[in-house]
Amino acid sequence: MRGKNMSEPEFGAAPIYRILKKGGAERVGDDAVEELRKSLEEIGIKIAQQAVELAMHAGRKTVKASDVRLAVKTFLES
Predicted pLDDT of residue 6: 61
38-76 pLDDT, tens digit each: 999 999 999 999 999 999 999 999 999 999 999 999 999
Residue boundaries of the structural domains of the chain: 13-77
- Measured CA to CA, the distance from residue 21 to residue 69 in angstroms comes to 25
pLDDT band at 8, cuts 50/70/90?
confident
CATH number corresponding to 13-77: 1.10.20.10
SS (HEC) of 9-72: CCCCHHHHHHHHHHCCCCCCCHHHHHHHHHHHHHHHHHHHHHHHHHHHHCCCCCCCHHHHHHHH
